[in-house]
Amino acid sequence: MGHLSPHQLTDCTEGVETESVRSHWLSCAACRVQVEHSRAAIAAARNVDVPEPSPLFWDHFSTRVRQAVQSEASRCANRAWWVPARLVWAGSMALVLLAVWIGFRVDWSAERPAQVRTLSAERLESLGEPSGTSDDPALSFVADLASDLDWDAASEAGLTTHVDMEDMLSQLSDGERRVLHELLKGELARPRT
């Protein structure tokens, strides 16, 4: 068995060690010295008293504590009435902020369909324009390329926007609807590979 642990040495110092621990420290000089030193330190510490205050001190002490507790109690009572008021105020502010946020969201989403409809109509106009009739050779070139472009490829290329189809169709002119009809017929007639 090696030397005793601090835990065991404390038990020896206080006389509550186990039999095996006692037999060790009685036979081990190093551990015995440790125990003796601990007991001497305890004895030196125990000689230090706390000076006893005068009896008046205790009466004044109790009075001071009572006064501090009473002011604490009245402070808590004052806080009690305005805490609910503060909660009501905070709740009202939260509701106002929520209403503003919802209103903002509604306004913003109300604007967006108009942009989409405008975009869709512009996009359809450019798509419906017969190739070769534009004065701009660049546009003619793009129109030629776009005529062979199917929807999936256009979507992957980021050329499409998420639109409400019924809304979009209601905005088309008669000419635009005829062009769209022709395009759809051609697409449906094409054999699937």
Q: Rule CB under 8 A: which residues touch other proteins?
A: 5-7, 9-11, 13, 34, 37-38, 40-54, 57-59, 61-66, 68-69, 72
Shortest Cβ distance from residue 54 to other proteins (Å)? Answer: 5
**Closest to other proteins by CB, 16 or 97:** 16
Do residues 125 and 173 lie in contact, with contact meaning Cβ atoms separated by under 8 Å?
no
**Closest to other proteins by CB, 5 or 27:** 5
Between the alpha carbon of residue 5 and those of residues 18, 21, 34, 50, 101, the distances in Å are: 13, 10, 11, 32, 67
Shortest Cβ distance from residue 85 to other proteins (Å)? Answer: 23
Integer Cα distance of 140 and 145 in angstroms: 9
**Angle separating helix axes 6-14 and 19-27, nearest 10 degrees:** 90
Other CB atoms within a 10 A radius of the CB of residue 182 amount to 11
Shortest Cβ distance from residue 109 to other proteins (Å)? Answer: 50
Both tokens assigned to 56: 């008046």
Report the Cα–Cα distance between both ends of the chain, in Å, rounded: 87
Shortest Cβ distance from residue 2 to other proteins (Å)? Answer: 16
**Closest to other proteins by CB, 64 or 178:** 64
**Closest to other proteins by CB, 5 or 155:** 5
Shortest Cβ distance from residue 22 to other proteins (Å)? Answer: 16
**Closest to other proteins by CB, 63 or 161:** 63
Q: What's at 172, amino acid-wise? A: L
